[in-house]
């Protein structure tokens, strides 16, 4: 079992920055591919970005590419989502997720492929 807890959400003005953290319990964090997803009211959960087990590889949704950066610290069992140049359309509940599968583009953008989820943290960007 892996338990994930997100933190760092809040209210920020457009153009501002936030850094989200997701801390995992259990000993399998370093062998888990991690993903960030978000869900706005009335919309489906959407892929934001992902990072491989080692942290050497990342991938992002086109909507956040160049503005968001994912990193991880396996010694701290934590994955981060640095969000810069925030826009009102980034407003959503942000979730981190973990999967024990080998990191491959064929699946890592699909939320159904992740095994464990946090409860989410709210990010609100005002215009």
pLDDT digits (tens, 9 = 90+) for 106-115: 899 999 999 9
What does the pLDDT read at residue 31?
A: 87
Q: Which helix (H) or strand (E) holds 121?
A: strand 121-126
What does the pLDDT read at residue 62?
A: 97
Helix, strand, coil shares, percent, the chain, to 5: 5, 45, 45
Length of the chain: 127
Average pLDDT value for residue range 18-30:
91
Q: Give CA–CA dist 74/94, Å, rounded.
A: 21
Task: Give the side-chain half-sphere CA count within 13 A for 3.
Answer: 3
């Amino acid at each position: 079992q892996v338990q994930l807890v997100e933190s760092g959400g809040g209210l920020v003005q457009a153009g501002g920055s936030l850094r989200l953290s997701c801390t995992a319990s259990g000993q399998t964090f370093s062998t888990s591919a991690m993903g960030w997803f978000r869900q706005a009211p009335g919309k489906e959960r959407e892929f934001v970005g992902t990072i491989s087990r080692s942290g050497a590889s990342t991938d992002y949704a086109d909507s956040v590419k160049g503005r968001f950066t994912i990193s991880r610290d396996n010694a701290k069992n934590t994955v981060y989502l640095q969000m810069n140049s925030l826009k009102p359309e980034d407003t959503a509940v942000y979730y981190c997720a973990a999967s024990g599968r080998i990191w491959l583009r064929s699946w890592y953008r699909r939320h159904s492929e992740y095994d464990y989820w946090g409860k989410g943290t709210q990010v609100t960007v005002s215009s």
